[in-house]
Amino acid sequence: MNSRRIIKHFTGQKIAVLMGGRSGEREVSLRSGQNVLEAIKRQGLQAVGIDAGMDLGTELRNKEIDAAFVILHGRYGEDGTVQGMLEMMGIPYTGSGVLASALAMNKVFSKKIFIEQGIPTPEYCWAGALHDPRSAAHQATDELGLPLVIKPVDEGSSLGVSIAKSQGQAVRSFTQVHKKYGQVMAERFIQGMNVTVGILGYGAKTRALPVLELVPKNEFYDYQAKYTGGLTEFHVPARLPGSIYAKVQQVTLQAHQALGCHGWSRVDAIVDRSGTVYILEVNTNPGMTDLSDLPAEAKAEGMDYDQLVLEILDSARNR
């Protein structure tokens, strides 16, 4: 990465760091955004933080924004909606485009692509807005067995995720998630190592960062474990045999590329006892807080936080 070239390109431009927003991940996005904003300013570049609310288009226009660093998590920011508005306004922005963002946010559609591309992912059942969640829960336990991982179709940060160990729990969780989020899915539970891999770059320069192993003290890597210091043990590089380690990087990179992602992402996976790598999801705007995974992986590669932010910012120049 040529930091000087990136800084030279953006010198004289006003960069908006889009943070906050309207999703359930708002608070995490604000923390990520503040870190990113400070990093951009440390490079001597002009940047302003914007809380992406209903009047975002007006703010971007009034502040005469030249480029956007999108660090919104979840709905209305990581799902292609803000990306579409930026496309319409002609403002270059970081990360994946409209289609890739929408596909990655929707776990059902991303799974369909993984399956079509031969990328391993846990078997699943789902219930859309017009489906009966109780019937879907019974179908899931019949087809996938127990325990089941139950989650919203289009949320991040493990919001609404639970592990059902009985049919009764499955029915209750399906019903609750369906009522709150509109769509719900169940995955076959995979026993194994939780890993996550950051992906950086674009085109032929796209690469996988070191593999990070997650050992949560909670039952699984839930919202609390993700954003509370001391609740998750991190190992980077992950404690895997060399051949499996390389396979994790290869498969996670394939998942990123299969969805057409650009610039950066974080791919979550599980490695079972046989060494099979199962892709869980691709996050197109992963966290950039002090406790987030991707900065820790970049650090293991020898990249500090400011360098990481610059490389992500460069994806706005090269779409």
- Which one of 78, 155, 222, 268 is the catalytic residue? 268
Return the amino acid letter for 264. Answer: W
**Please, are residues 27 and 73 in contact by the beta-carbon 8 Å criterion?**
no
CB atoms within 10 A of CB 64: 8
Q: Which helix (H) or strand (E) holds 272?
A: strand 263-272
- Which one of 32, 35, 283, 285 is the catalytic residue? 283
311 is catalytic: no
- Which one of 106, 266, 292, 297 is the catalytic residue? 266
- Which one of 20, 21, 23, 25 is the catalytic residue? 25
- Which one of 74, 194, 287, 292 is the catalytic residue? 287
- Which one of 32, 96, 157, 292 is the catalytic residue? 157
266 is catalytic: yes
157 is catalytic: yes
166 is catalytic: no
- Which one of 76, 93, 227, 278 is the catalytic residue? 227
- Which one of 78, 222, 281, 311 is the catalytic residue? 281
80 is catalytic: no
283 is catalytic: yes
Residues tagged active-site: 25, 157, 227, 266, 268, 281, 283, 287
